[in-house]
Amino acid sequence: MTQKILITGGAGFIGSAVIRHLIAETDAAVVNVDKLTYAANLDSLKPVADNPRYAFEKADICDGAAMAHLLEKHRPTAIMHLAAESHVDRSIDGPGAFIMTNVVGTYALLDASVAYWRSLDEAGRARFRFHHISTDEVFGSLGETGFFTETTPYDPSSPYSSSKASSDHLVRAWHRTYGLPVVLSNCSNNYGPCQFPEKLIPLMILNALEGRPLPVYGQGTNVRDWLYVEDHARALWEVLSKGAPGESYNVGGNNEMKNIEVVQMICDILDDVVDPLPGGPRRGLITHVKDRPGHDQRYAIDASKIRRDLGWEPRETFDTGLRRTVDWYLDNRDWWQPLRDGVYAGGRLGLAV
C-alpha cells in the first residue's frame, strides 16, 4: 500500500524540502496543510505543484474541526507535524503566537489524530505514525564540551524553545496515555534553499550581496550545529518510515560553527563569486550589535542513534552546503526579492523592549 502523508507546515522552509524529497524520491502521496503565515511560500513547491501525488489544503492546525475534516477527507497513513512558529527573535517580541500555534495547535492536531487513528482498522492503526518534528533548542545551552542526546533533560531558554518543549511533552503524553503511535525528532539549525530571510544565513547572504551591514549578536561566539535542509528531509523520512513508536531521534549535521565564522565564510564566498563592493571585502560589513536576551551559548547534537538505528548520515559538509545555499540565493532572486520588498526588509527583531 502506498503511503499517504499529511504534512503540516508544508509551505515552510523544512516542510517544503520534505515534500520535494518525498515527491522526487518516494512513491508517497502528500497532502500539504498550511495556514500560509508570513514565512510560508508556495513558490517553494513549484517543482511539485502539478504532480498528481501532491495536494494542498489551506487550514490552521489550531482549528480542530478543520483538522478532523481533512484527516477524514484524505485518510492519511501518517502525519508529519512541521507547522510551527520558529523564529526566536519573533518569540521574544510576541510569544502569544508561539503558544497558540506550537502548543495549542499541536494539542488540536493530536486530539483530531487520536480520533482518526481509532477509526482505522487494526492494520491501519498498526501502520499509522504521528511524526513530531522539533528542535535541539528544547535542551537549552551547552558549555564548551558535551552533546545533546535523546535523554538530555529539557531546559528551554526562549518563548520559542519553551513552546516546542511543551509540544514535545504533549506528543509523548498522547503516546503514553492514549497509545497514539508517535515518533519524534529534534534537529539542529537548518539552512539551505527557500529559507525565509529573517534567519541568520539567508539574511547575511542577502545583506552581504547588497552591501548592507551584517549584524552579529554580541561577539558572535555562540556556537550552532548546522544541518543542510535536504539532509534533514532525508532523515525525517527515515524516522517516519523506520523509527520505532515512542522513540525520539536527534538529527545533526556534525558542523559546529561560531556565528561569526559563518558570517565570515558567507562574505568570502560572495567575494569569490560576485562583483566586489566599492568599499572592499565584505567582511568589512560585519557589525557587532547588542546580544539578544537569553541567547544560548552552544548547541551540539549527538546523532549516533539515528546513524546506528536508521542508517542515516548527512551528505553535505558545511563548506559544500553553504556554497550550494549561496548559489541558490544568487540564482533565485525572484523567490526572495518580493519577501525583502514587502514582507521583511531585514530589520532587527527580538529586542525585548
Point out the catalytic residue in the list 34, 89, 136, 168. 136
Question: φ, ψ for residue 17 (rounded to 5)?
Answer: -65, -40
Beta-bridge partner residues of 34: 58
Length of the chain: 353
Question: φ, ψ for residue 85 (rounded to 5)?
Answer: -80, 130
Beta-bridge partner residues of 256: 225
- Sign for the CA dihedral angle at 334, 338, 343, 344 comes to positive
Query: Is residue 198 flagged as an active site residue?
Result: no
Show the DSSP H helices in the chain as ranges. 13-25, 64-74, 88-93, 95-98, 105-119, 122-127, 159-178, 200-210, 229-242, 259-273, 304-310, 318-331, 333-342
Point out the catalytic residue in the list 116, 160, 191, 249. 160
Question: φ, ψ for residue 339 (rounded to 5)?
Answer: -70, -40
Report CA dihedral (240, 244, 247, 248) to the nearest 10 degrees.
-30
Written as nine digits, the cell of 288 is: 557587532
**CA 351 – CA 307 distance, rounded (Å):** 39
- Reduced to 3 states (helix: H, G, I; strand: E, B; else coil), residue 132 is strand
Point out the catalytic residue in the list 34, 137, 198, 230. 137
Query: How buried is residue 115: exposed, middle or buried, by Cβ count under 10 Å (0-12/13-18/19+)?
Result: middle
Query: Is residue 225 flagged as an active site residue?
Result: no
**CA 251 – CA 238 distance, rounded (Å):** 11
Query: Is residue 160 flagged as an active site residue?
Result: yes
- Residues whose CB falls within 8 Å of the CB of residue 276, separated by 6 or more in sequence, listed in order: none
Question: φ, ψ for residue 41 (rounded to 5)?
Answer: -150, 105
User: Which residues are the active-site residues?
Assistant: 136-137, 160
